[in-house]
A and B are shown apart, each in its own frame.
Chain A
Amino acid sequence: MKASLGRRYTFAASHRLHNAKWSAEENRQLYGKCNSPYGHGHNYVLEIAFTGPVAPETGMIANLGDLDPFVQREVIEPFDHKYLNEQIPAFRDVVPTTENLAREIFRRLETFPGAKLERVRIQETSNNSFEYCGE
């Protein structure tokens, strides 16, 4: 039997949308208030989905007792209460839009052993969310 497992996590972080290749004016035009110089922040909600066979001995796709500490170590600890632009190396040269955040989190979580990471969904505010399924 194959099934999928969804799990939800939250973290609070700040970011600024700014591309150093463009002028201040171009950045303001493209990113609007998200270009505000000191950054701003969100309560991000992360939803991840894994698929895989349900192990007959355990009845599970993945043991949440393994998954939770993995996500904690790979995502929550490095991202929670942080400024993404300055404290996550991947965003030194990449603009931390939520699209790029979804890709970075996917990259960090796809190595989870035993089940296949199917989808990462990030809710940035109650009005917008982004999904990434690894291309």
Chain B
Amino acid sequence: MRITRKLEFSAAHFYHNPNFSADENRRIFGKCNNPHGHGHNYVLEVTVAGEPDPETGMVLDLKELKQILQREVADRMDHKHLNYEVPELAGQIPTCENIATVIWNLLQPKIKQGRLDRVRLYESPELFAEFTADDANGNAAGVRA
């Protein structure tokens, strides 16, 4: 059984790799390289897998999951600039792939009932990246948006 909870947050970011020249950055990252940044309404879907507890009928109390998402993700990333204000992303390009991986690493140790199965992060309605239990176990090629 899998249960999924959704969280929306708004954040700014831009893509820039200091190892590339200005020209290379522009060529590879296009309009996402604008140094002033731009932003998105991110939609996060977090899926937890497990057997429903026979007493409560729940895999995990969704209220508790909501609190974990608020504390670990919303408090860190909502209304923030991902390049400057999220230490877990320091030194990384804040692509959807990298943010999803950071969110997986933040949430995984906090889920005590059931197990974290999938983190799906939408940057826009047309684009998302996923990090799954298979990725964590090294069984998949990686995360591709």
Contact = CB atoms under 8 A, between A and B. Distances in A.
A and B: real partners? yes
Interface of A: 10, 12-15, 33-34, 36, 38-43, 80-83, 86-87, 125-126
Given A33-B79, A43-B41, A43-B124, 4 more contacts: A13-B38, A14-B39, A36-B79, A40-B81
Interface stretch (B7-15, B54-62, B96-104, B136-144): B7-15
Q: How large is the interface on B (under 10, 10 to 19, 20 to 34, 35 or more residues)?
A: 20 to 34
B76 interface: no
A12 B124 CA distance: 9
A82 B85 CA distance: 19
B135 interface: no
A125 B38 contact: no
B32 A81 contact: yes
B34 interface: yes
Contacts of A80: 31, 38
A36 B75 CA distance: 12
A41 B8 contact: no
Contacts of A43: 40-41, 124-125
Contacts of B12: 14, 38-41, 83
Interface of B: 8, 10-13, 31-32, 34, 36-41, 78-81, 83-85, 124-125
A45 B83 CA distance: 24
A86 B81 CA distance: 15
A62 B32 CA distance: 32
Contacts of A42: 10, 39-41
A40 B80 contact: yes
A126 B41 CA distance: 9
B8 A126 contact: yes
A12 B79 contact: no
A14 B38 contact: yes
A13 B83 CA distance: 15
Contact of B36 (A10, A36, A40, A87): A87
Contacts of B39: 12-15, 39-42
B81 A39 contact: yes
B80 A81 contact: no
Contacts of B81: 14, 36, 38-40
